[in-house]
């Protein structure tokens, strides 16, 4: 990214690690970001909130923060709120957008209200997970269906349920990570993802990435720890399909009030080629297998340039309100 005075950033903290179930992935993302920023002359330092108090950021004179945390206490509005109180600008979405996007059920409610396509779902609260209730869910959504914790990422705690007898075990697994459980209609088709950069009317979609995982199983292991998954960018989709996905993703991003960057995951239904929004990631992965860098590269934006651009977009909610 040309024309950026990196010295003006001051001392930069890259938040990584944290206490969520995605700690390991966050450490990989943060390590990549840290190296990239330093290669561009940024005075960047690693900072793990699981090992240090956030108040140290203020005490040690950090001017801005790159959030490379994933999951709870990093992507859910909590660390964003702390940084707001400290008055330190940070990358990515603000408190409200981060909190809503982290909760897949709330996200789907917003999207449905906005008329955006998302798979049908059933939300099971703690007191609504009886065996009798679980038997009704396949009748509502059909089989197979997906069971997942609504406030986790990286496919953690997710099960594809093929029969009534599998429901109890799937809900038990999901509830290990979240007391509430989200059951979702299964969309048979192609999995794609599409990043967005910017804020408000200036938000733009990057190229779509098509994901081809072994036997269609894009789980935690195939996301981060194998080379068996293929990422196609250019996606190979018909141009009109790609444009429609980009349009939907930008609308979904704006509906949630996201800023800085984000990445939406979608399924394209094989039967009629209709895209369905699954979730919005407000602090996407930045590992060697991650999708935003792949898409950015196809758009002519290198990994280091992407990191600097994101850092340059760091702000507080009060600053963003006027934009």
| Residues classed as catalytic | 22, 154, 224, 263, 265, 279, 281, 285
Closest to 216 in 3D by CA, of 174, 165, 267, 272: 267
Give one word for 229, left, alpha or beta, with left for phi > 0 and alpha for psi -120 to 50.
Answer: beta
- Give residues with Cβ within 8 angstroms of 127, minimum separation 6: none
Cβ atoms of 205 and 266 closer than 8 Å = no
Cβ atoms of 185 and 120 closer than 8 Å = yes
**How far apart, in whole angstroms, are the C-alpha atoms of residue 58 and residue 223?**
35
Cβ atoms of 257 and 96 closer than 8 Å = yes
Helix, strand or coil, per DSSP, at residue 75? coil
Cβ atoms of 317 and 95 closer than 8 Å = yes
Buried b or exposed e, range 234-261, using 16+ CB within 10 angstroms: ebebeeebbebbbebbbbbbbbbbbbbb
- Give residues with Cβ within 8 angstroms of 193, minimum separation 6: 208, 209, 211, 263, 264, 265, 266, 291, 295
Query: Taking the mean position of all CA atoms in its chain, how far away is CA 161?
Result: 24
């Amino acid at each position: 990214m040309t024309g950026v005075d990196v010295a003006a950033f001051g001392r930069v903290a890259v938040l990584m690690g944290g206490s969520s179930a995605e700690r390991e992935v966050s450490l990989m993302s943060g390590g990549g970001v840290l190296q990239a920023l330093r290669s561009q002359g940024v005075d960047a330092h690693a900072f793990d909130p699981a090992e240090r108090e956030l108040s140290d950021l203020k005490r040690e004179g950090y001017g801005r923060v790159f959030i490379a945390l994933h999951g709870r206490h990093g992507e859910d509005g909590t660390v964003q709120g702390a940084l707001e109180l400290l008055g330190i600008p940070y990358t990515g979405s603000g408190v409200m957008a981060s909190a809503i996007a982290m909760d897949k059920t709330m996200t789907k409610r917003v999207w449905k209200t906005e008329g955006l396509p998302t798979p049908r779902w059933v939300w099971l609260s703690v007191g609504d997970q009886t065996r009798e209730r679980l038997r009704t869910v396949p009748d509502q959504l059909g089989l197979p269906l997906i069971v997942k914790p609504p406030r986790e990422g990286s496919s953690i705690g997710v099960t594809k349920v093929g029969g009534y007898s599998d429901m109890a075990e799937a809900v038990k697994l999901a509830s290990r990570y979240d007391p509430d459980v989200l059951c979702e209609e299964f969309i048979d088709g192609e999995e794609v993802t599409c990043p967005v950069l910017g804020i408000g009317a200036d938000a733009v979609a990057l190229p779509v990435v098509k994901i081809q995982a072994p036997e269609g199983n894009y789980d935690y292991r195939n996301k981060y720890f194998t080379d068996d998954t293929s990422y196609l960018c250019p996606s190979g989709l018909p141009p009109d399909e790609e444009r429609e996905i980009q349009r939907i993703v930008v609308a979904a991003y704006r509906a949630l009030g996201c800023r800085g960057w984000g990445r939406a995951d979608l399924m394209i239904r094989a039967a009629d080629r209709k895209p369905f929004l699954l979730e919005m990631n407000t602090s996407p992965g930045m590992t060697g297998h991650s999708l935003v860098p792949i898409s950015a590269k196809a758009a002519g934006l290198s990994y280091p340039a992407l990191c600097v651009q994101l850092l340059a977009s760091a702000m507080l909610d009060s600053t963003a309100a006027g934009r």
